[in-house]
Amino acid sequence: MTERLFFALWPGEPQRRLLAGVQRDLPDHGGRKTHPQDLHLTLVFLGDLDAQGRACAEEIAGQVRGAPFVLNLDRCDCFPRTGVLWCGPSARPQPLLDLVHALNDGLRSCGLRPERRAFQPHVTLVRKSRPLPAHGIQPPIVWPVSVFALVIARPGQCRRYRVERSWPLIP
């Protein structure tokens, strides 16, 4: 049996409430809103893994070292091809990029290859939307990050994602 998994940053309740507020205040978009309890920032999508693949990914995650950091979510934008409305940081903190690089680098030993697309940190607010103009978020949502998580996708459920395990960021 396989499980659809990914590594992500999972917001605390204050950040989740603020993200849900940004989502609620979006103009008419015609899309499907992400459930507020599912809001997250994907670091690395793993796909469908069997028990051996999952164990390898968890072992790599346990070896990753990285400094805690702060994300400032200060803009909303759209991926027009996919109809995804999202919010994210204008500036990508180096510790975030280092974390993604360390995960991708380690996961190669599990036979997993990193995505070819450049990493664009974002929190998906709406799917299958019509494009909306980019705009800033004032004040920015300040998200202190000290942990990353392994998350499982559960198709067909209202809350689709569940944190399975998490690891602290330790320099």
pLDDT, one tens digit per residue, over 143-169 is 999 999 999 998 776 678 999 999 999
Asked if the model's pLDDT at residue 111 lies above 90, the reply is yes
What per-residue confidence (pLDDT) applies to 151? Answer: 97
Site of tokens 């990753």: 64
Asked if the model's pLDDT at residue 1 lies above 70, the reply is no
Residue 7 CB-density burial (10 A; 0-12 exposed, 13-18 middle, 19+ buried): buried
Percent with pLDDT over 90 in the chain: 82
Across the strands, what pairs with 87? Answer: 76, 123
Q: Global pTM?
A: 0.94
Asked if the model's pLDDT at residue 44 lies above 90, the reply is yes
pLDDT tens for residues 123-138?
Answer: 999 999 988 889 999 9
Give the 3-state secondary structure of residue 165.
strand
